[in-house]
Each structure stands twice: as C-alpha cells, then as structure tokens.
Structure 1
Amino acid sequence: MGHDASSDRSAERLPVSLITGFLGSGKTTLLNRLLQQPEMADSAVIINEFGETALDHLLVEPIAGEAVLLASGCLCCAVRGDLQDALRRLLVQRDRGEVPAFSRVLIETSGLADPAPVVQLLLNNPLLGRDLRLDTVVATIDGTSGPGQFEQYAEAVKQAALADRLLVTKTDIVPAAEVEALIGALRGINPGAAIETVVHGEIDPARLVGAGLYEQRDPGQWLDIRAYHDHRHTHGISAFSLVAEQPLDWLAFHRWLCDLRAAYGDRLLRVKGVLNVADEEGPVVIHGVQHVFHPPVALRRWRDGDRTSRLVMIVRDLDRETIVAGWPGSAAQDLRPG
C-alpha cells in the first residue's frame, strides 16, 4: 500500500467543521455565538438561508455573489442549490481575491437534513479534497426534548450517530436526571463521541473547529475503544468494536468490507478504524459513512508497541453476527462507553 502522501497534505488543506442538529436544538444559537468570537474572524460559513439562520444582526455588506461580510470579520455564504458548487465558487473567489482569505470553513445543515451526503461529499470529492478536509462533525441535541426525540425523528438519530462531538443544549432549564437520561441515550447511539452540555451556545471554539476529531491520524487516540465491551441497542443503532491481534491480510479485509458495503451500505452509519496490515510498517487509517469511504491512509509509524487492529462500526438494524461474519481478525467485541 505504501505511505499515502495525502497524510502530509492534510495540514495544508482547510479544515471543515460540519454543524448539524435537529430543529430547535440550539444550532442557530451556537453558530451565532461562534461567529462573534474574535478567533473565528478568518472563517467562512456556509448556511442554508440567511433568514433561517437569523444572522441579520451580524451582517455588514455584500461582497461577491451570495457572500457577505459579518461584523466579526467572518465570511458568510448562503447555499443556493448545490453545496459542492457553493464550496467551489467560494474557493475560486478566494483565489481571485474577490473575498477575504479564510483559514477554516463551517457548514450549517438544515434541521431536517441528513448530514451523511455532506460528509460523503467532503470525504470523497477529489475537486474539493485538494483544498478542504473534513475536520469535525458537531451535533446539537435539544436537552428539553429528552430521549423521545430519537423515537420520533429518524433524522435526529442519524445526526447523533454521525457526529464526533454531541452538544446537549438548554440544560439550564432541564432537571439533572433528565439530562443524564438523554446523555445515556446518546451513548447508546454513538459511544465514541464526546458529549458536552452547553448553555446559550457558550463553548470554546477550539473544541469545535480545528480539533481534528474526524480525520484523526494519531493511532494512539483510538485506543480508548478497548474499554468498550457491552452490546447496546438504541432505536435500531448498534456499535461494534472489531479487534485483531495479528496483522490483517489487506485483500481479505478489503473483500469483507466491500461485501458489507454492497449488501448493507445504507445501514453502515459510521466506520472508523486503525489497522495493522501485513507488510505495512505503520498503521492504516480508514473511515467511511454508508457506501462512501475515504481512501485508506497509511501512516509512517505506530505511536507505541501496541499494534492491535481496531475497527469501530456504528450501524442501523444490523445484528452482531452479520457484522462479524467473515471478519478476517481473531476476535470481536461489542461497544459501550466505559
């Protein structure tokens, strides 16, 4: 496989933070708060509609096409049609000097939107991949709606399952026991995500942008999944950790994963892993969403002596036996938060 030069280019590409969340979950409050922070001044923000996001009080002047400059110095663009076109247009305008230079991109999804297509676009589009890299997926979760929101809205479940960081909002007006019940439900949906409570959108921007949560390339950061071992089901969502102590045969692994993608791609909500592949000196990092996978990245070296392969899978309506069947490793364990 060899070392992938894309790992060296990662630092050169602009990080993209995807902010998703169901209607009324506090996403707009969070975005408004972020855009007013001085450290976010060199950001470009992609939103659905100016009216929907309620940024009117921040707007200053139009500068190019759909782009406007905010009082904080942020560049803000409303999507008119295709997100890929909006991103490419923004990059072209930057290169031509038609808009101010920016060092990061934030994308806000509609409250009813499935974030998977946006994640897939950022993972697998070669035109965008030259300039952008998916850095973090953040989901806001309405603390007042409780676990019942996941029973009622499939989109809310998927948004939580695809995120790296889950922000439970409005916790200042919710009893502590109800907040804990909601956090427990979130851990059942996405055991690997960081969960925080947020009031009035107050959070350090560094925790959400430029954090490198999605495209982690340090294998040592994956090892905490060893603490996850009990099987959990929440609204059809299951999380598995597959483990292999011995080096994996790449062709056997690739064949197994391709078979799963072909048969159950729409149910593979999230796949992340660090693999010890036979004849590779360093670890191989993979991640994907449903049918779409980022090209595997072969890193130069392992961080320490532990070379165990670990693959985390968050799936919908798939049983353990189906996932494990054909796994070329020696063991599989269920996943739960430690």
Structure 2
Amino acid sequence: DDDVRARTELDSVTTVVDALHLPLRLGDSKEAVEQIAFADQIILNKTDLVTEAQLRDVEARIRRLNPLAPIHRAQRSNVPLDMILGRGGFDLERITDLQPEFLNPAHGEPGHVHDESCDHHDHDHHRHDPHGHDPHAHDPSARDHAADAGISSVSLTFDRPMNGARVSAWLNEVLQTQGPDILRAKGILSVAGEDRRLVFQAVHMILEGDLQRPWREDEARTSRLVFIGRNLDPQALRSGFEACAA
C-alpha cells in the first residue's frame, strides 16, 4: 500500500520464544516452528523459569531451525530496544553487520571457528556420544520437531569463485521451483572477475541481490549461503551450488 509504504518500512522480524514451553509448542504448532525459522532475531523469554541446561537445549533447538538469528535471553522481555529496532533485517548492506558470524563455516566444515555460541551440532549430522548414549534419551519431548515439521536449514560454503551469470540463474531456478517452501535465504558470494562481494537475500520467491563493498585483503573469498525452509534437499542444493563454479 502506497500510504503505508510512505510512512513505514519493514525493519525486521522479531519472534518471542517462551523458554519454558517451547518444547511443547514445537511439537503441536507448525506456526511456532515457522515463526522461529523466519525471524531476524529471537527473544528467549522467561529464562528465570528454567535451568541453564534447559536454556542451552532450547537455544540448540532454535539454532537448528534458524542459524542466522541472534538469540537474546530475557525476563519479562526486558531487551534493550536498540537490539531489536533499527536492525535493517531486509537491508542487503547490513547482512554481515547484523550477523557477524555469517561467513563462519558451519561446525564440522573447514575453517569453522568455535565460540561460545557454537552448539557443536550441524544440520546434516547427529551429535555423537563416544559412550553410545543418546543425549536426549531421557527427554521424550526432545525429538527433532523441526524435522517432524519438514523445516530445516542448509548451509553451503565454497572456496572457488562463482560464475556470476550461472549462480544467478541457479538461484532464480531454485526460487521458482521451491519458492513457496523457502522461508528465508541469504548469501555472500565471491564472483570471478569481481572485487566486490555479491550479497543476496530471498523471501519465498522474491529475490534481491547487489554488489556491496570490496573484499578486504585479510578476508577469505569464500562464498556462503544459507537456506531455511521446508523439505530442503541438502545434496541437491550443494550440487547445484558447486556447479556454478567459474
């Protein structure tokens, strides 16, 4: 609507999560799963009602649905407003400012840097226990509700430069054929013959991209993209992505 557009802008999507009841909601509400997957940032509320171990488990479940959104722990949603307003979640120029770890390869991939937010769980492999115990065996509610809902995230990295025309055609094809199932996608690509980074994002079938700042000399020119959606085929996405190499 032109009048609304003249007075407002879509800044970002914030989802408030109940730390105590999230495991139950992931089991009985597809909307709860999708709201987490679509979010630009998560407020993890009522943290005073659960233990630290329960908080870490809830955060791990959130990251399996949405590896991009920062998680803010809160009580009575007491989060500073500047952490959730003015975020520019749909602004191409701010993708890496808002998600500084976006170019950090996923756990288990070459070049991954461990930090306090790393839950040691990637999206294609199950956590391994050397003693053969299932870390969630004691908790019947801890099954993978994200998988039950068909929602997952696929993170792809590639060190070779990409053919710009080929990768653009591939992204358009993915969104045309799978767009209704893709909730969010974001990427930073190294294009052959181009000193600037190609940054893109997608919401369902809507894709926008642009060349942003030049790569710094101390930066690894690694292409990285993340898809969040339903019924994603990680192998098919990886094969299509790598076929776009220059």
Q: Distance in 2 between matches of 1:160 and 1:328?
A: 29
Residue 4 (structure 2) pairs with residue 87 (structure 1): yes
1:183-220, CA deviations, whole angstroms, 9 ceiling, x for partnerless residues? Answer: 22111111222112111121111111123444353658
Alignment map for 1:36-185 (pairs within 5 Å): 84=1, 87-88=4-5, 91=7, 132=9, 134-185=10-61
The corresponding residue for 2:162 is 248
The corresponding residue for 1:298 is 211
Alignment map for 1:194-205 (pairs within 5 Å): 194-205=70-81
Structure 2 unaligned runs (5+)? 109-121, 125-143
Structure 1 unaligned runs (5+)? 1-83, 92-104, 106-131, 332-338
Deviation at 1:272, TM superposition (A): 0.5
Q: Distance in 2 between matches of 1:300 and 1:175?
A: 43
Q: Distance in 2 between matches of 1:191 and 1:312?
A: 8
Alignment map for 1:265-276 (pairs within 5 Å): 265-276=179-190
Whether the 8 Å contact between 1:171 and 1:198 is mirrored in structure 2 is yes
TM-score between both structures, scaled by the size of structure 1: 0.55
The corresponding residue for 1:231 is 123
AA matched with 1:145: H
Residue 192 (structure 2) pairs with residue 284 (structure 1): no
Taking only the aligned residue pairs, the percentage that are identical comes to 31
Q: What SS does structure 2 have at the residue aligned with 1:149?
A: helix
CA distance 1:163–1:272, change in 2 (3 Å) = same
**How many residues end up aligned between the 2 structures?**
206
CA distance 1:327–1:155, change in 2 (3 Å) = same
1:286-329, CA deviations, whole angstroms, 9 ceiling, x for partnerless residues? Answer: 001111112x1111412343211111111211221222232235
Q: Distance in 2 between matches of 1:224 and 1:277?
A: 15
TM-score between both structures, scaled by the size of structure 2: 0.73
Q: What SS does structure 1 have at the residue aligned with 2:87?
A: coil
Whether the 8 Å contact between 2:92 and 2:201 is mirrored in structure 1 is no
CA distance 1:225–1:164, change in 2 (3 Å) = farther
- The answer to which of 243-252 and 222-231 deviates more is 222-231
Q: What SS does structure 2 have at the residue aligned with 1:184?
A: helix
1:109-160, CA deviations, whole angstroms, 9 ceiling, x for partnerless residues? Answer: xxxxxxxxxxxxxxxxxxxxxxx4x443211012231222122111111111
1:237-264, CA deviations, whole angstroms, 9 ceiling, x for partnerless residues? Answer: 2222222212211121122112211221
Q: What SS does structure 2 have at the residue aligned with 1:167?
A: strand
The corresponding residue for 1:47 is none
Deviation at 1:275, TM superposition (A): 0.7
For the aligned residues, what is the CA RMSD?
2.5
Whether the 8 Å contact between 1:171 and 1:179 is mirrored in structure 2 is yes
Whether the 8 Å contact between 1:146 and 1:181 is mirrored in structure 2 is no
Which stretches of structure 1, 4 residues or longer, exceed 6 Å deviation after superposition? none
Residue 240 (structure 2) pairs with residue 326 (structure 1): yes
Whether the 8 Å contact between 1:244 and 1:330 is mirrored in structure 2 is no
Whether the 8 Å contact between 1:135 and 1:212 is mirrored in structure 2 is yes
Q: What SS does structure 2 have at the residue aligned with 1:274?
A: strand
AA matched with 1:242: L
Q: Distance in 1 between matches of 2:103 and 2:214?
A: 19
Whether the 8 Å contact between 2:72 and 2:79 is mirrored in structure 1 is no
